[in-house]
């Protein structure tokens, strides 16, 4: 079973309720909940949640190391297989759309990138900035430049290094994707796929309220304990980190930093919702926001 949706939409609560009711185990598909240093800002499952239902792939990596989609896919496929071997229902939940795409469609077999080219590209992006790198990408790989936002430094760098190292666009490699580990199950109709898409005003209010809860739970202290900013470590760009770091450095009053973090979270949720609506058109869209009602709607699909 797959449960996707924007941040703060209630995915974790639904997954927990369904797992408890249907003898399931939860597998993480959220790129930030992978990091052990970010339990508060990533809204990771609590200790009580983990006692109630087995959880997998939460806190399995450090923010000090990049974590690729390929690595997640390998771990997720293994976890899903182990859950099934125990005769239980794997419930994959999270907000990272690329993870779900990888489960269903697989990943392109891009050859190893030349280390020298990688250093050159990463240094260029760090020195010149994402927008300048995006203009360069538009000349070298217009297909990928058209897909990427000018501020998305991580993916721009990836597209540039692939184009320079392989002589082919990353778009070409991606077009040759192999089927993902769940492709056959999906084709057979054996996997329920849900996208939580609650009303926009409700979701915006939830984003704001959840950030307040994170602050009370120690988000500021969590950010203070993180390593220095490194442009090669995407985890250090997670929602709330840049804004709270600015407050800790005295660059912004705390209330302004919090307001900026909440705004960024709302914008991110909006982008996620757009992505899921466009990319998951054949999934079941659940527009309710009451957990009990959602469970009642979903449960008949999984027994």
**Tens digit of each residue's pLDDT (9 = 90 or more) over 238-275:** 899 999 999 999 999 999 999 999 999 999 999 999 99
More confident residue, 257 or 302: 257
Average pLDDT over residues 26-33: 97
Q: Based on the domain organization, do 101 and 68 belong to the same domain? A: yes
Are residue 187 and residue 287 in the same domain, yes or no?
yes
- 77 plus 93 within the same structural domain: yes
Structure tokens at 81: 């297989």
CA 64 to chain centre: 17
Chosen domain end from 175, 204, 221: 175
Phi, psi (deg, nearest 5) at residue 56: -130, 145
Kind and range of the H or E element at 122? helix 115-128
pLDDT in tens, 210-219: 999 999 999 9
**What would the pLDDT profile of 70-118 be if each residue is shown by its tens digit?**
899 999 999 999 999 999 999 999 999 999 988 988 876 677 788 899 9
194: three-class secondary structure by DSSP: strand
Whole-number Å distance between alpha carbons of 121 and 160: 7
pLDDT, mean of residues 167-178: 76
Last residue of a domain, one of 175, 198, 216: 175
What the block records as the tokens of 121 is 């590209």
Domain that holds residue 152: 115-175
Rounded Cα gap, residues 89 and 93, in angstroms: 13
DSSP annotation of 58 reads S
The answer on 268 and 244 residing in a single domain is yes
Question: For residue 136, what is the domain's CATH number?
Answer: 1.10.20.140
* 192, 295: one domain: yes
Q: Which residues are 261's β-sheet partners?
A: none
Do 162 and 291 belong together in one domain?
A: no
Whole-number mean pLDDT of the chain?
90
- Residues 53 and 129 placed together within one structural domain of the fold: no
**Do 170 and 236 reside in the same domain of the chain?**
no
Q: Please check whether residues 192 and 44 belong to one and the same domain.
A: yes
pLDDT at site 248: 96
pLDDT of residue 41: 96
Q: What is residue 30's predicted lDDT score, i.e. its pLDDT?
A: 97
Kindly tell me if the per-residue pLDDT of 186 is higher than 80.
Answer: no
> In the chain, what percentage of residues exceed pLDDT 70?
95
On whether both 29 and 153 belong to a single domain, the answer is: no
* Shared domain check, 236 and 259: yes
**Cβ-Cβ contacts under 8 Å for 271 (sequence gap 6 or more):** none
Asked whether residue 214 falls in the same domain as residue 165, the answer is no
Q: Structurally, how many domains does the chain consist of?
A: 2
CATH number of 195's domain: 3.40.50.300
Select from 158, 175, 192 the last residue of a domain: 175
């Amino acid at each position: 079973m797959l449960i996707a949706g924007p941040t703060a939409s209630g995915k974790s609560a639904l997954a927990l309720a369904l797992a408890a009711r249907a003898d399931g185990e939860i597998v993480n598909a959220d790129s930030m909940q992978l990091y052990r240093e970010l339990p508060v800002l990533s809204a990771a499952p609590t200790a009580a949640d983990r006692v109630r239902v087995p959880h997998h792939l939460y806190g399995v990596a450090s923010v000090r190391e990049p974590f690729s989609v390929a690595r997640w896919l390998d771990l997720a496929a293994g976890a899903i297989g182990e859950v099934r071997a125990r005769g239980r229902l794997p419930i994959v939940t999270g907000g990272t759309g690329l993870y779900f795409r990888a489960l269903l469609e697989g990943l392109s077999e891009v050859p190893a990138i030349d280390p020298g080219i990688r250093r050159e590209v990463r240094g260029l992006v760090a020195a010149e900035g994402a927008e300048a790198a995006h203009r360069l990408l538009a000349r070298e790989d217009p297909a990928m430049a058209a897909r990427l936002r000018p501020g998305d430094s991580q993916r721009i760098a990836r597209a540039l290094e692939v184009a320079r190292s392989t002589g082919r666009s990353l778009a070409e490699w991606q077009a040759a994707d192999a089927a993902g580990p769940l492709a056959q199950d999906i084709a057979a109709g054996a996997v329920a796929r849900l996208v939580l898409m609650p009303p926009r005003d409700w979701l915006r209010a939830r984003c704001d309220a959840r950030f307040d809860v994170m602050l009370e739970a120690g988000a500021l202290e969590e950010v203070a304990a993180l390593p220095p900013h490194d442009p090669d470590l995407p985890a250090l760009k997670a929602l709330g980190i840049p804004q709270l770091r600015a407050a800790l450095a005295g660059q912004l009053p705390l209330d302004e930093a919090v307001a900026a973090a909440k705004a960024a979270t709302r914008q991110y949720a909006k982008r996620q919702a757009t992505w899921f609506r466009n990319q998951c058109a054949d999934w079941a869209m659940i527009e309710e926001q009451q957990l009990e009602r959602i469970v009642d709607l979903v449960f008949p699909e999984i027994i």
